[in-house]
Structure 1
Amino acid sequence: MTVGTRSTRLVIIRGDAASGKTTTALALRPELGAKVAVIHQDYVRRELLSNPDSRERSRDASVVIVATARQALELGYDVVLDGIFNLRDYSAPFERLHQEHIGSTAICQFDLGIAETLRRHAARPLGQVISEGKIREWHDGWQPLPWFDERRIGADAATADIVAMILSDLSVQRTP
């Protein structure tokens, strides 16, 4: 099975909480053109799905996110996915999506370290809602995908530079 067209682009932006994923996704959107779907894991997990079992909700979110991305690619949209996207629930579905997507794919992961993650989290509105302890509990650090040579984004990378790197990666397929 194939998905999308030769001209559709799939971007997956991964990383820990408060790392800059959504900021990057929103900055990338106008650079990709007029027909872009940005799919936020936070929205799917917090707003769309309601389930007190967080592990089950995470697995369900991976199904919803990949199905939505697949449909948007089929409709001719470029797709930007942003979220923590742990390996347990997302690696295999993302691998299938990447393998079946006939357009180009770019994947990057923010790796800021726990101190920078906590500093950034404290400065945003959710910093007042989600505790430092919860952020520490969720922090996974660098977890590279085993099937794709994703870009590692450090704490000193500027959003404009990350967007330029993603656009460059979309022109050359990166595989391990």
Structure 2
Amino acid sequence: MAMGAQLIIIRGNSASGKTTTAQQLQLALQPAATLLIPQDVVRRDMLHAPDKSGNLALALIRDLAEFGRQNCRYVILEGILKKSVYGEMLQDISATFATPPLVYYFDLSFAETVRRHATQANASSFGRVELTQWWQAHDQLETEHERLFTSAETLAQRVRLILADLGV
């Protein structure tokens, strides 16, 4: 059982860079002691659940986070994680960890997320219309431990900043 597991929440709009950041962070940490929970995998790939209040992903994400809290050193929860749908769950999960979570939100312009999406492997799977439908401007959780990422930071800078926040 891991004592003092640390919860790291990485949120933001589609194509903002959160998945890549979470994956690189996991590699930089002790990968075998780090549980990465991607919201898209849980909600869309595993459960095929709609992204609305009460969806089945909420319960499974809670269970996975609890497993990570008990068995891992780090738990990284990554996804769009809209405040209106996931905010209460994120607060509940955070309260189960001994230390406050580290929370990061990608606060990018819509134009920047469209630009970043065009460079991704799945760029032809969906486009501007879907990005517009999913867009949530400034959807911060507004917790005392939330940091904002902008388009100014590189991937390496984001990972270094989170590692520094972790004291690693």
Please name the residue that 2:123 is paired with: 127
Matched, 1:64 2:56: no
Alignment partners' CA distance in 2, 1:127 and 1:31: 27
Deviates more, 1:28-37 or 1:83-92: 28-37
Three-state SS of the structure 1 residue aligned to 2:78 is strand
The amino acid that maps onto 1:99 is A
**Which residues of 2 match residues 48-127 of structure 1 at below 5 A?**
48-51=46-49, 53-55=50-52, 59-103=55-99, 105-127=101-123
The residue type paired with residue 11 of structure 1 is I
Distance 1:142 1:5 in 2: 34
**2:11–2:105 CA contact under 8 A, matched in 1:** yes
What's the TM-score once normalised by structure 1's chain length?
0.85
Of 22, 28, 37 in structure 2, the residue corresponding to residue 39 of structure 1 is: 37
Give unmatched runs, 5+ long, in structure 1. Answer: 172-176
Distance in 2 (CA, whole Å) between partners of 1:148 and 1:90 is 18
**Alignment partner of 2:85: what SS?**
helix
* Matched-pair contact (CA < 8 Å) for 1:39–1:65: yes
TM-superposed CA distance for 1:104, in Å, is 5.2
- Between the aligned partners of 2:2 and 2:97, the Cα distance in structure 1 is 6
User: Where do 4+ consecutive residues of structure 1 move more than 4 Å?
Assistant: none
AA of the residue aligned to 1:38? L
Query: How many positions carry a matched residue from both structures?
Result: 166
Q: Which moved more, 1:9-18 or 1:34-43?
A: 34-43
Q: Contact between 1:5 and 1:103, CA under 8 Å: does it hold in 2?
A: no
Letter in 1 for 2:42: V
Structure-2 separation of matches of 1:135 and 1:157: 22
Using the TM superposition, give the Cα deviation of residue 168 of structure 1 relative to its aligned residue in structure 2, in angstroms.
2.2
The letter for the 2-side match of 1:36 is T
Q: CA RMSD in A?
A: 1.9
Partner of 2:138: 142
1:93 shift after superposition: 1.1
Query: What residue number does 1:174 align with?
Result: none
**Shift in Å, 1:63:** 2.0
Q: TM-score with structure 2 length normalisation?
A: 0.89
Residue 86 of structure 1 deviates from its aligned partner by 0.3
The answer to whether residue 13 in structure 2 is matched with residue 16 in structure 1 is yes
Q: How far apart, in 2, do the equivalents of 1:104 and 1:160 lie? A: 24
Give the counterpart letter for 1:41 in structure 2: Q
Instruction: Output the amino acid matched with 2:24.
Output: A
When structure 1 is superposed on structure 2, of 13-22 and 126-135 the one drifting more is 126-135
